[in-house]
Amino acid sequence: MLNAEIINKDEEIVKFVDDLLEEAVKQGVSDVHIEPQATNTRVRFRKDRKLYIPEGYDNIPKQLHEYIIARIKVLTKTMKLDVKKRPQDGRIKSNILGRDFVFRLLVYPTIHGESINIFNMDDYLQQYTVEELFNNDINLIKIFRRNLKKEEGLILFTGPTTVGKSTFIASTINELAGTGVKIRTIEDPVELQMDNTDQVQIDLYQGLDMTAALRSCCRGDVDVLYICELRQFEVAHIALEIGLNKGYKVLSTMHTNNGISTLFRFTEMGIKEYMTASALELVVGLRRTKKLCPHCKEKADLLESEFEGLGLTEEDIQNGKFYKAKGCDKCFNTGYTGKLALVEILEFTRSLKDAFVKGADADEMEKLAKKEGVYHSLAEDTRKKFINGDIDIEEARIFTF
């Protein structure tokens, strides 16, 4: 480990950064945080949503912090060493333990110096089929592909950061891609580099913002347009307009809690209900949960009272396979290994569109969607995976209450 008295600073810093990335890969973490404090620097890993300090990384000498940051910036080949007062994005490609890994970086200024978030892109670079993404649920796949075949309209992928929206988008674009389809993306930043696709990187310093990029793309010949996120009224309005009037299929993302609330999010942004109803076709909601380690999970003998609030039927409880975490060498004694996608899907059918325009509230919309069989909620998907023994009761409670 580093100490303030090291003689060959350059060599030791290079080794420290290499060892840090290797340790992150070995432990299967999603994020590495290098955080300057008032008197020292610490490193924290995130795995399965939990932040922790890996052994030996809690008290790095503060005077070495700038050297660590500089080394990481050099590895990106794009970050500027002399820029320390504004955020910078970058990537590192590195061969670790005989495999190629890609890390996305965000460097941002704090009162104690520059802090770095290193995001392991390994899971996001994997190629998945639509069947894999929807856990081979025939009904969900049918609804998704039915809307994917439509030549126009908006398909939204929703959920918080790092739940797998980019993975779903990449797999969707991969399914749509072909010699007869023109696909263009507008991203900030470009997360996954894809073949057979024109990818546009937003660059505010060069005057290329989201609105300018969108208006430019509208004048071109496009079949499928992916917009990284609908955050502002103008961008959302243009996206709906494109899906409605330009004859494009539009894919995008939004940070909302569930499919039903997504409809009303547009209204909160100032979009008229008729416009949302005319363009929006499908909402796919995503979350990620900790998957029980298959090598050491143990059968859980749960009390009847513990099932309260989960929405399980008597049949579910009697026939379910319920397990709990234990811990072994293969999962670093955490009891969990990897993540599992929880998927929600809402098809915005004609009757739902009509009800929305007429002023139906969220409860009425949900009842109608379930009656038509076009709404599979996150809670339903969570219950299914809990009953199958993929997740424990603690994880089930997070997404069913």
Cis peptide before 189 (omega within 30 of 0): yes
- Quote the tokens at residue 354: 């009509």
Structural domain count of the chain: 2
Say yes or no: 239 and 353 in one domain.
Answer: yes
Quick one: what percent of the chain has pLDDT higher than 70?
96
Give the tens place of pLDDT for each residue, 265-299.
999 999 999 999 999 999 999 998 889 999 999 99
- Residues shown for the chain: 401
Give the tens place of pLDDT for each residue, 338-347.
788 899 999 9
Say yes or no: 339 and 271 in one domain.
Answer: yes
Place of tokens 């809307």: 147
1 in any annotated domain: no
Could you give the CA distance from residue 354 to residue 359 in angstroms, rounded to a whole number? 9
Say yes or no: 198 and 346 in one domain.
Answer: yes
17 in any annotated domain: yes
Q: Which of 24-38, 116-130, 378-392 has the lowest mean pLDDT?
A: 116-130
- CATH number of the domain that residue 22 is part of: 3.30.450.90
Say yes or no: 150 and 255 in one domain.
Answer: yes
Q: Which helix (H) or strand (E) holds 276?
A: helix 273-279
Say yes or no: 229 and 326 in one domain.
Answer: yes
Say yes or no: 22 and 137 in one domain.
Answer: no
Could you give the CA distance from residue 172 to residue 177 in angstroms, rounded to a whole number? 9
| Cβ count near 366 (within 10 Å) | 18
Q: Give the end of a domain, one of 120, 147, 172.
A: 120
Q: Give the end of a domain, one of 120, 153, 172.
A: 120
3 in any annotated domain: no
Say yes or no: 52 and 186 in one domain.
Answer: no
Bridge partners (DSSP) of residue 118 are 32, 105
pLDDT-derived band at 6 (thresholds 50, 70, 90) equals low
Q: Which residue did the predictor score with more confidence, 290 or 7?
A: 290
- Asked whether residue 140 carries a pLDDT value surpassing 80, the answer given is yes
pTM of the model: 0.82
Say yes or no: 362 and 251 in one domain.
Answer: yes
Say yes or no: 196 and 277 in one domain.
Answer: yes
- Asked whether residue 123 carries a pLDDT value surpassing 70, the answer given is no
Q: Give the end of a domain, one of 89, 120, 151.
A: 120
The pLDDT score that the predictor gives to residue 62 is 92
Mapping DSSP to helix (H, G, I), strand (E, B) and coil, where does residue 198 land?
Answer: strand
| Cβ count near 363 (within 10 Å) | 9
Give the tens place of pLDDT for each residue, 307-357.
988 999 999 999 999 999 999 988 878 898 878 889 999 999 999 999 999
Say yes or no: 103 and 193 in one domain.
Answer: no
Helix/strand/coil percentages in the chain, nearest 5 = 40, 25, 35
Average per-residue pLDDT for the chain: 89
Range of the domain at 74: 9-120
Say yes or no: 248 and 207 in one domain.
Answer: yes
pLDDT-derived band at 64 (thresholds 50, 70, 90) equals very high
Q: Give the pairing of strands 113-120 and 99-110.
A: antiparallel
Say yes or no: 56 and 168 in one domain.
Answer: no
